[in-house]
Structure 1
Amino acid sequence: MFSYRHAFHAGNHADVLKHLVLVAALRHLTQKETALWVVDTHAGAGLYRLDGDYAGTSGEAAEGILKLVAALPGLAEPAPALTDYLDRVHSFNREGSWRIYPGSPFLAQALLRQEVRDKLKLFELHPTDSKSLAANIAQLGAGRQVSVAREDGFEALKSVLPPPSRRALVLIDPSYEIKSDYAKVHAVLRDALQRFATGTYAVWYPIIPRPEAHELPRKLKTLANSFRKPWLHATFSIGQPDDAAPAPGEERRTGMAASGMFLVNPPHTLKPALQAALPQLLDVLGRGRGKGQLIESGGG
């Protein structure tokens, strides 16, 4: 169960979608003076080298964050959410370089506020990534604002809900390497809504040829509706490249081309922010058959 390493995928199109949504949501949630808790159930290592062995081997960042950065000067009026996201990523790099990609723990921590005692709770079960995460967080000198635990985020979430301030954003983004993760996501979200119905919950999932992946957003809509909670569902696909045809005798290898974000109790500013940003993102990252983006909402 520990074979998955997010470092191979850091800065790819799925990270761009996930972190674009995360930054935009946190921008709204941190406007209120009451303390906010951010909980990341599968935090990973926190920081990734785009020129390192993992990301360099996969090359996925070239079709994600790096392609977006290269195209940004050509956009006449970049959407504010896109600019904000890129500014957040660039703040972890020296001027002119894009070698470091911050994962959700670091993007979130950078937006939290000391004066109102916002908190960041990070869970990561992978032994190597958990150790790296703890070391990376220690360099921040954030003290008690951030806590790191080597625990199963699905189970650990129960221990932090509801938060004392009654305000939280929970990011649920397992690798889905194990098929049972899809059912666990649905179950943990149901339990979380029973414990803390007013929290904002953000679920990332891959869009791949697997029945569980296609059924998950439908089940999450049904769940949110059963609690009478508003929801937002955004999907983004870069499509398959025209040169993805395999060589004679080889199987087709296209990789994951699409992913989705499903939010319960989303900030009301998030939908218009994504409606402005995702079409621009598609213009830059879209590469072939099947490319597209979708934003839908309901419930409440």
Structure 2
Amino acid sequence: MLSYRHSFHAGNFADVLKHAVEVLILEALKQKESPFIYHDTHSAAGRYSLSSAHAEKTAEYVDGIARIWQQGEVPAPLIPYLNVIKQLNSTSTLKHYPGSPLVARLLLREQDRMQMTELHPADVKLLEQEFAGDRQARVYKQDAYEGLKALLPGRNKRGLVLLDPSYEIKTEYRQVVQEIAQTYRRFATGTYALWYPVIERRTIDRLMRDFVGTGIKKILVIELCVKGDSAERGMTGTGMVVINPPWKLYSQMEELLPWLTKELGQDNHANFRLEWLVPE
């Protein structure tokens, strides 16, 4: 299915968590001189105008990045992410928001490379325009999971694989775990970061059981719920499953998650989760 467009959701609370985690992982990879690869499976358009018809229709960014991007005192782990946002918004008005590929591109060094897969015809065209002429970046009009098989591990022994499925089809919750497990067998030294929405808690519980069942070690769960769990329709929270996280990520999230829960919470039941699903 190709109906999902991230342009309706750019800059929402889920993006804040996803991109804050992405930035911290990339900054950790940069602590070593050796090059790394950034691989984005569901790249979408790369850059979003918050005054577009799509963004204005939902205005989800109002309860996301707009709440925090100009706050004076923020936790230290959030600063690198906010610096990325400010690079795209030179005035006091929030006009633009980066997708995960552009977040990564703004952080890469000369020796690092990135590759992106996307199938939506409109989004892949925008992505190709965004990265036209960029020798460090490659865009592939390709299925996300076929791209994992074809493009990884490549020459690099280090890297971040970011997976951001739309979950339009419910079976994708299980498929993405299977695809990660297969890729991990070929590229066990990489870091994997999977985004997921919290809509039905039982679905998330099953997702976690599936990850445990892979036998992979060192799996960290990071979750931010802006509302309490609900049987009603709609996303109440968001999370990241991180395999092989940088050693500082747990303590960084210990500092960041309580603050994000307070600033982005939408009811009195807002909460967060930070735990080792599978230890080392």
User: 2:99 & 2:115 partners in 1: Cα distance?
Assistant: 14
Q: Does 1:222 align with 2:210?
A: no
Any stretches of 5+ residues in structure 1 without a counterpart?
245-251
CA distance in structure 2 between the aligned counterparts of 1:286 and 1:178, rounded to whole angstroms: 28
2:222 is matched with which residue? 234
Where 2:189 maps in the other structure, the secondary structure is coil
Residue 293 (structure 1) aligns with: 272
- Size of the alignment, in residue pairs? 279
What is the one-letter code of the residue matched to 2:131?
Answer: I
Provide Cα deviations, 1:25-59, integer angstroms capped at 9, x if missing partner. Answer: 11001111111000000001000111111111001
Per-residue deviation at 1:210?
A: 6.7
- Residues 220-279 of structure 1 show CA distances to partners (whole Å, capped at 9, x for unaligned) of 1332xx13x211100101116xxx9xxxxxxx9763120110011000011111111111
Match of 1:52 in 2: 52
1:161 aligns with 2:152: yes
2:279 maps to a residue whose letter is G
Rounded to whole Å, the distance in 1 between the matches of 2:222 and 2:264 is 16
Letter in 2 for 1:177: E
- Specify the alignment match of 2:115 in structure 1: 121
Are residues 1:131 and 2:125 paired?
yes
Code of the aligned partner of 1:260: G
Q: Is the 8 A contact 1:154 1:184 kept in 2?
A: no
- 1:81-100 matches, within 5 Å, as 81-100=77-96
Q: 2: distance between equivalents of 1:173 and 1:221?
A: 20
* Contact 1:44–1:129 under 8 Å retained in 2: yes
For 1:249, the equivalent position in structure 2 comes to: none
Are the counterparts in 2 of residues 239 and 287 from structure 1 also a CA contact under 8 Å?
yes
Distance, in Å, in 2 between the alignment partners of 1:275 and 1:254 is 29
Q: Deviations for 1:44-83, whole angstroms, at most 9, x for unmatched residues?
A: 100011111111100110010001225x13x4xx211212
Q: Give unmatched runs, 5+ long, in structure 2.
A: none
Q: Output aligned runs, 1:32-71, within 5 Å.
A: 32-69=32-69
Question: 2-side partners of 1:211 and 1:217: how far apart?
Answer: 10
Matches within 5 A, 1:1-300: 1-69=1-69, 72-73=71-72, 75=73, 78-114=74-110, 117-138=111-132, 141-142=133-134, 144-209=135-200, 211-223=202-214, 226-227=215-216, 229-239=217-227, 255-297=234-276, 298-300=278-280
SS of alignment partner, residue 169 of structure 1 = strand
Output the CA distance in 2 between the equivalents of 1:56 and 1:23. 26
Amino acid aligned to 2:93: S
Deviates more, 1:289-298 or 1:263-272: 289-298
Q: How large is the Cα RMSD of the aligned pairs?
A: 1.9
Does the aligned pair in 2 maintain the 1:238–1:290 contact within 8 Å? yes
Report the TM-score when normalising by structure 1.
Answer: 0.88
Q: Secondary structure at the match of 2:138?
A: strand
In structure 2, give the amino acid aligned to 1:216: L
Q: Could you say if the C-alpha distance between residues 222 and 253 of structure 1 is closer, same or farther in structure 2, counting changes exceeding 3 Å?
A: closer
1:177-207 C-alpha deviation (Å, 9 max, x unpaired): 1112112101111101111111100011111
Give the letter for the 1:38 counterpart: Y
Task: In structure 2, give the amino acid aligned to 1:263.
Answer: V
Normalising by structure 2, we get a TM-score of 0.94
Worse-matched range after superposition: 6-15 or 154-163: 154-163
Tell me, what secondary structure is at the counterpart of 2:106? Answer: helix
Give the greater-gyration-radius structure (CA): 1
Q: Measure the CA separation in 2 of the matches of 1:24 and 1:105.
A: 15
* Structure 2 contact 174–210 (Cα < 8 Å) conserved: no
CA shift digits 1:142-162 (9 cap, x unpaired): 2x2000011001111111222
* Alpha-carbon separation, structure 1, partners of 2:159 and 2:27: 13
Contact 1:207 1:214 in 2 (8 A): no
Matching residue's letter, 2:113: K
Distance 1:105 1:48, change over 3 A: same
